[in-house]
Chain A
Amino acid sequence: DAGVTQSPTHLIKTRGQQVTLRCSPKSGHDTVSWYQQALGQGPQFIFQYYEEEERQRGNFPDRFSGHQFPNYSSELNVNALLLGDSALYLCASSSLAAQETQYFGPGTRLLVL
């Protein structure tokens, strides 16, 4: 049983570009949450998707957007990249209906130059 998977593992972009990160949830999970973790800090909640809709959102600008597909996988899109967007982006999946624990993927490390 595969756990949460994310792609790519690493990515380098330049300021002003756009990036798309992908996440496949753990089998049986229907909810995907995204987090940003800057170096030396704890993960910060970006948003959560359930039933293909954004269910909750943290304190992140509209440059951060997402999508959830019918198979529960999800994408995180960041437009107009800033140097400060350099971070580890984590995806976590859970089952909202079952009130199940969130399990995290390995993350995508994004470097903006």
Chain B
Amino acid sequence: DAKTTQPTSMDCAEGRAANLPCNHSTISGNEYVYWYRQIHSQGPQYIIHGLKNNETNEMASLIITEDRKSSTLILPHATLRDTAVYYCIVISYNNDMRFGAGTRLTVKP
């Protein structure tokens, strides 16, 4: 079973920041928070991951709370091509990924 809770769907205006929350209250000390997204019927695409510290790459930023029980994925300037299902996954070293239902993000013009 997935160890994360995400809203079922969210909307965002094009050009604005999209903030996608994720709760992972049972996360263990050696577990990372990973984010993937899946654009209609394609394979999931890796976005970003983190352990304790906030992370940023060319696609997004990941903000992890100090107690590590929740995190937020931030797409700074959402475009129509960012419309997808976003999955937040908690995973330990053994790489056994358990996906939930994810958040369906719709970016609107």
Residues of A within 8 A of B (CB): 4, 31, 33, 35, 41-45, 48, 56, 58, 88, 90, 92, 94, 96, 99, 101-107, 109
Contact = CB atoms under 8 A, between A and B. Distances in A.
Nearest to A56: B96
| Size bracket, chain B contacts | 20 to 34
Nearest to B91: A102
B68 interface: no
Contacts of A31: 95
Contacts of A35: 97, 99
A45 B97 contact: yes
B46 A42 contact: no
Contacts, number: 55
Contact of B46 (A43, A88, A102): A102
A90 B101 CA distance: 16
Interface string B82-109: 0001010000011111111110000000
Given A42-B2, A101-B34, A33 B46 contact: no
Nearest to A6: B43
Interface in B42-58: 42-46, 49
